[in-house]
């Protein structure tokens, strides 16, 4: 109570009104703007996923025709990748937390930050406009493979333009974070005293900055070909379809790490807190982020093992793919070792983190199966791949995002969520997720291709199971969101440091004041996760 | 232990067994340890946490061992795959034509078939040809797949080792009816194959329909009035259609000239309500003679 009295004006109260939000340069408000947009897009794309699974509950036409199905999975993929996952962790948690974690009052370029959000909104509007403008939304898959993307009558041009604009938003956020981390750390914070989430954002930001321009150019080339008939990728016009695939994956493989590295950073924050001990192998985790970011640039060819690439190229891409698995494995070992001899407090964020480890592990191991040449030839473009990437992106990055939402909920909104409801929602999500996606791995091994509107009778049973899984998962998600909404009103007031965490954002009130700290934050000596130092919280 | 449907199955399934086995081991092992720690060091049982910062030996071990293991996995993936790239010189050569949304197999004697018929125990070499977009020829039972890329001459090969009929799927997304782009391989006894191969008599159907089937026109144009992605051929002959020519709407009569133009330069007159760009120009694929056969056939579709 004493704390509540001395509570300074929070950033919510500092200014009010719509314009104080949409033209705000405060990193916390911009983070929240991203959050509301991102979560809305997630719910839209989740509903599309629900419809897809409903269509696939039985062979033949169930609720929509083939063309509509193709448009639905394309829009689902585009939204999930470009509007949910890529911005989710960096643009929301990164914006909100990075300056707090490194003890400063904002990012390096606050106006640029606001501009990035506006670009994001513009890209989102373009993506949604494809629904009503032109010949309907694109039906190419989120990969926009040429020459189909050049030939189809649907509104690929606008979808591609949306992705192009979103790319710029991502580049500028990356740039902002790199400069912020270099220039604005609290005076006493050395590189190896930064929280691991900051390290993860740092590695990610370099990928955003260096890889995203490639997709920008590639997408412009598609537009040039569609609108002006320039022969780049369509052999009918003298172009080369394989060139497109190379250019696309040169960005899109590293982009996979844009999606998952920051999520790994979130896990590295949550596990020490709930184990009440320091992280095991701090430096190994920090360096492995950089290693993943670096090696990740050179493995794109593993998406093209069946495209007719030369033998040596296939072999080299396969070896490198296996090597990039090692730093990820190291992280997993370090997280598990962090639980050793801890004093473990099983709360919702930890449950999500443990589910992350299990699902990310399964996603990573299935990644090895498709990184190997012999097995990939069989599994490429089958449901095994759909299962694999949902395990990594949703079971991994998505679960980390939701776990983190609970972990920092009090810090961001000033109230605590309801723990028991949150745990019920978690279990529904965990069970639903695995019932939804595990059968896909089996379907792929049986030979069912992906992007399949209709399938042979043999595949029916597992498709039914998978669809039932989607219902369980979605009920879990709805319950989780309901709980988070209700807790905003009904939850108990959040103290500064509800979990006994050690990083700087927990030294300030929840929610923080406009300029982040009411007193100069104390950078702990040595390792940032030393629980022995801040015993008293 | 494994099926022996093609010469690759055993190699690929061995890679599968090794890689999936190792993966399962790690999945169960790591998850098991994790769950054990969560139970064993629960705060109720273990109220006082002990810090363990790092342990160089342990960290080196768990860097080096996985590195070796993944390289072993890579190796088995590679050995299972090697034979697929060693395409023999000799064998039955078949051109596999992929187009939206059907397969056509062309044999050396000019025979066309919409299923791939091959003799048991002989090498079959497929030349993969696409006229429109990227497709991918996938035979799950044989564990093989290779993309069919327009303008690129990819090849694949196999030996069918067990008699039977196996599915062929298109594995690269290619538009509306991607999931309907199905065919099958029939592995039959060599004697039977010789009879089949040498039987080049055409079935008793209109030569115009043969052309339409061979070129997969029928996967976009129905013969019974239903709309697929292109207009149905039923009853178009001698009737007027509304088309868009250089952005202007006009009405034309479906006659010889129009049909020929529609086939050789489909984007010149685009039928109203349909998408340009999907139908490729058949200038070099369908001869004038064949166009006449098509026209002859269209006349019969009242
Ligand atoms: C909420 C429940 C979800 C369901 C029921 C669902 C379902 C599906 C299904 C059935 C497909 C396969 C479409 C096909 O190949 O025919 C698919 C594709 C995809 N999903 Fe999801 N998904 C969900 C959530 C997510 C999430 C959270 C992400 C990313 C974070 C995601 C990303 C993707 C992507 C990128 C594709 C590929 C689209 C393409 O092939 O172009 N999905 N999803
Ligand atoms: Cu990749
Ligand atoms: Cu196809």
Which residues, 6+ apart, have CB-to-CB distance to A460 below 8 Å? A58, A59
pLDDT score, position A135? 81
Nearest CA to ligand 1 atom 38: A77
- A338-351: per-residue pLDDT in tens? 999 889 999 999 99
* A470 vs A56: CA distance, rounded Å: 11
As a whole number, mean pLDDT of residues A17-21 equals: 85
CB contact under 8 Å between A449 and B179, yes or no, is yes
Query: CA of B57 to nearest chain A CA: how many angstroms apart?
Result: 12
Contact B249, B272 (CB under 8 A): yes
CB contact under 8 Å between A336 and B170, yes or no, is no
- Say if A461 is an interface residue toward chain B (CB within 8 Å): no
Write down the pTM of the prediction: 0.91
Closest to B115 measured CA to CA, from B100, B134, B96: B96
- Say if A397 is an interface residue toward chain B (CB within 8 Å): no
Residue A209 φ/ψ, nearest 5 degrees: -70, -40
* A503 vs A484: CA distance, rounded Å: 24
pLDDT at residue A535 tops 50: no
**CATH assignment of B9-85, among 3.90.550, 2.40.40, 1.10.3470, 1.10.287:** 1.10.287
Ligand 1: atom nearest CA of A477 is 1
Residue B104 corresponds to which tokens in the numbers above?
A: 């056509």
* Binding site membership of A399 for ligand 1 (Cβ less than 6 Å): no
pLDDT at residue A6 tops 70: no
- Say if A309 is an interface residue toward chain B (CB within 8 Å): no
* B232 vs B226: CA distance, rounded Å: 6
Give pLDDT < 70 ranges for chain B.
1-2, 202-203
If you measure from the C-alpha of residue A448 to the centroid of ligand 3, how many angstroms do you get, rounded to a whole number? Answer: 14
Q: Which of residues 25-54 of A touch B (CB under 8 A)?
A: none
CA A14 → CA A492, A508, A514, distances in Å?
A: 22, 16, 7
Closest to A369 measured CA to CA, from A393, A399, A396, A392: A392
Q: Could you give the domains of chain A?
A: 25-507 (1.20.210.10)
- Say if A333 is an interface residue toward chain B (CB within 8 Å): yes
As a whole number, mean pLDDT of residues A49-61 equals: 94
- B260-281: per-residue pLDDT in tens? 999 998 888 888 888 777 788 8
Nearest CA to ligand 1 atom 37: A77
* B66 vs B72: CA distance, rounded Å: 10
**Which numeric CATH code is attached to B207-298?**
1.10.760.10
User: Helix or strand or coil: residue A232?
Assistant: coil
User: Helix or strand or coil: residue B110?
Assistant: coil
Q: What is the DSSP letter of A396?
A: I
As a whole number, mean pLDDT of residues A106-115 equals: 93
Q: Which of B9, B53, B185 is the best substitution to test chain A (most A C-beta atoms within 10 A)?
A: B53
As a whole number, mean pLDDT of residues A491-512 equals: 91
pLDDT at residue A3 tops 60: no
Which residues, 6+ apart, have CB-to-CB distance to B276 below 8 Å? A153, B266, B267, B270
- A347-404: per-residue pLDDT in tens? 999 999 999 999 999 999 999 999 999 999 999 999 999 999 999 999 999 999 999 9
Q: How many interchain CB pairs under 8 A, A with B?
A: 265
Residue B57 corresponds to which tokens in the numbers above?
A: 């030996």
Q: Which of A148, A237, A361, A388 is the best substitution to test chain B (most B C-beta atoms within 10 A)?
A: A148
Look at phi and psi of residue A58 and say left if phi exceeds 0, alpha if psi is from -120 to 50, else beta.
Answer: beta
Ligand 1: atom nearest CA of A56 is 10
pLDDT at residue A192 tops 80: yes
* A394 vs A388: CA distance, rounded Å: 10
CATH 3.40.718.10 fits B92-198, yes or no: no
Which residues, 6+ apart, have CB-to-CB distance to A377 below 8 Å? A305, A306, B12, B81, B84, B143, B144, B145
* A301 vs A376: CA distance, rounded Å: 12
* Binding site membership of A84 for ligand 1 (Cβ less than 6 Å): yes
- Say if A376 is an interface residue toward chain B (CB within 8 Å): yes
Q: Do domains B9-85 and B207-298 have the same CATH topology?
A: no
Q: B278 to chain A: nearest residue by CA? A: A151
Write down the mean pLDDT value for chain A. Answer: 91
Q: Which of A381, A527, A530 sits opposite B136 (nearest CB)?
A: A381
- Say if A346 is an interface residue toward chain B (CB within 8 Å): yes
* A393 vs A356: CA distance, rounded Å: 10
| pLDDT > 90 fraction of chain A, expressed in percent and rounded | 64
If you measure from the C-alpha of residue A416 to the centroid of ligand 3, how many angstroms do you get, rounded to a whole number? Answer: 52
Q: Helices in A56-135 by DSSP H: which ranges?
A: 66-78, 86-87, 95-101, 110-129
CB contact under 8 Å between A275 and B41, yes or no, is yes
* A31 vs B202: CA distance, rounded Å: 69
Query: CA of B104 to nearest chain A CA: how many angstroms apart?
Result: 20
Residue A417 corresponds to which tokens in the numbers above?
A: 């969520």
Domain parsing of chain B, residue ranges: 9-85, 92-198, 207-298
Residue A164 corresponds to which tokens in the numbers above?
A: 């192009």
Q: What stretch of H or E contains A236? A: none
Q: Place A1 in a pLDDT band, splitting at 50, 70 and 90.
A: very low
Q: Helix/strand/coil (H, E, C) string of A453-501?
A: CCCCHHHHHHHHHHHHHHHHHHHHHHHHHHHHHHHHHHCCECCCCCCCC
pLDDT at residue A438 tops 90: yes
Cα radius of gyration rounded to whole Å, chain A: 23
């Amino acid at each position: 109570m004493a704390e509540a009295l001395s509570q300074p004006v929070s950033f919510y109260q500092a200014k009010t009104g719509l314009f104080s939000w949409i033209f705000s340069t405060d990193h916390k408000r911009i983070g929240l703007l991203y959050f509301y947009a991102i979560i809305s897009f997630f719910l839209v794309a989740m509903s599309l996923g629900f419809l897809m699974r409903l269509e696939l509950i039985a062979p033949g036409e169930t609720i929509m025709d083939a063309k509509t199905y193709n448009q639905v999975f394309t829009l689902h993929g585009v939204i999930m990748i470009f509007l949910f996952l890529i911005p989710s962790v960096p643009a929301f948690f990164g914006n909100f937390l990075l300056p707090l974690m490194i003890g400063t009052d904002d990012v390096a370029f606050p106006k640029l930050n606001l501009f990035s959000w506006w670009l994001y909104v513009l890209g989102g509007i373009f993506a949604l406009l494809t629904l009503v403008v032109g010949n309907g939304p694109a039906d190419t898959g989120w990969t926009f493979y040429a020459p189909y993307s050049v030939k189809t009558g649907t509104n690929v041009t606008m979808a591609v333009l949306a992705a192009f604009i979103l790319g710029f938003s991502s580049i500028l956020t990356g740039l902002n974070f790199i400069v912020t981390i270099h220039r604005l750390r609290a005076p006493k914070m050395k590189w190896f005293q930064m929280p691991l989430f900051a390290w993860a954002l740092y590695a990610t930001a370099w990928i955003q900055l260096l890889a995203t321009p490639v997709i920008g150019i590639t997408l412009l080339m598609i537009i040039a070909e569609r609108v002006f008939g320039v022969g780049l990728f369509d052999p009918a016009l003298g172009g080369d379809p394989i060139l497109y695939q190379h250019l696309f994956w040169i960005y899109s493989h590293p982009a996979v790490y844009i999606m998952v590295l920051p999520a790994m950073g979130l896990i590295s924050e949550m596990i020490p807190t709930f184990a009440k001990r320091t992280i095991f192998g701090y430096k190994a985790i920090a360096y492995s982020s950089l290693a993943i970011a670096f090696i990740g640039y050179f493995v794109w060819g593993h998406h093209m093992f069946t495209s007719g690439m030369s033998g040596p190229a296939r072999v080299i891409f396969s070896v490198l793919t296996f090597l990039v698995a090692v730093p990820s494995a190291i992280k997993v070992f370090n997280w598990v070792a962090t639980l050793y001899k801890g004093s473990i407090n099983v709360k919702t964020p930890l449950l999500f983190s443990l589910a992350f480890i299990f699902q990310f592990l399964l996603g990573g191991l299935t990644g090895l199966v498709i990184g190997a040449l012999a097995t990939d030839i069989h599994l490429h473009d089958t449901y095994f791949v759909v299962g694999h990437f949902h395990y990594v992106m949703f079971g991994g990055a998505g679960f980390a995002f939701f776990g983190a939402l609970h972990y920092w909920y009090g810090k961001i909104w000033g109230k605590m969520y309801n723990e028991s409801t949150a745990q019920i929602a978690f279990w529904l999500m965990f069970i639903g997720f695995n019932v939804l996606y595990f059968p896909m791995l089996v379907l792929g091994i049986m030979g069912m291709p992906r992007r399949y509107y209709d399938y042979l009778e043999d595949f029916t049973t597992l498709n039914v199971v998978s669809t039932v899984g989607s219902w369980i998962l979605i009920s879990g998600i709805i319950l989780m969101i309901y709980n988070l909404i209700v807790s905003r009103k009904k939850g108990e007031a959040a103290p500064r440091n509800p979990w006994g965490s050690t990083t700087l954002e927990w030294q300030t009130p929840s929610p923080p004041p406009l300029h982040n700290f009411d007193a100069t934050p104390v950078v702990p000596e040595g390792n940032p996760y030393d629980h022995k130092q801040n015993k008293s919280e | 232990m494994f099926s022996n449907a093609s010469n690759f199955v055993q190699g690929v399934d061995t890679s599968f067994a090794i890689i999936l086995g190792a993966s399962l081991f790690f999945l169960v092992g790591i998850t098991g340890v994790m769950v054990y720690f969560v139970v064993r060091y629960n705060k109720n049982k273990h109220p006082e946490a002990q810090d363990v910062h790092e342990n160089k030996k342990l960290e080196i071990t768990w860097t080096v061992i996985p590195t070796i293991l993944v390289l072993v996995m890579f190796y088995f993936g590679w050995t299972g795959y090697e034979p697929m790239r060693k395409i023999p010189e000799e064998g039955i050569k078949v051109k596999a034509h992929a187009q939206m949304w059907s397969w056509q197999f062309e044999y050396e004697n000019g025979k066309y078939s919409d299923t791939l018929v091959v003799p048991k125990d002989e090498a079959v070499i497929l030349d993969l040809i696409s006229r429109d977009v990227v497709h991918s020829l996938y035979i799950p039972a044989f564990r093989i797949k290779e993309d069919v890329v327009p303008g690129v001459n990819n090849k694949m090969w196999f030996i069918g080792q067990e008699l039977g009929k196996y599915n062929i799927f298109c594995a690269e997304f290619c538009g509306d009816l991607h999931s309907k782009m199905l065919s099958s391989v029939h592995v039959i006894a060599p004697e039977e194959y010789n009879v089949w191969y040498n039987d080049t008599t055409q079935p008793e159907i209109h030569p115009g329909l043969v052309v339409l089937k061979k070129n997969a026109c029928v996967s976009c144009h129905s013969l019974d009035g239903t709309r697929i992605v292109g207009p149905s051929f039923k009853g178009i002959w001698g009737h007027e259609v509304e088309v868009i020519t250089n952005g202007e709407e006009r009405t034309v009569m479906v006659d010889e000239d129009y049909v020929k133009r529609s086939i050789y330069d489909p984007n010149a007159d685009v039928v109203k309500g349909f998408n340009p760009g999907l139908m490729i120009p058949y200038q070099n694929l369908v001869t004038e003679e064949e166009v006449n056969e098509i026209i002859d056939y269209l006349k019969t579709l009242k």
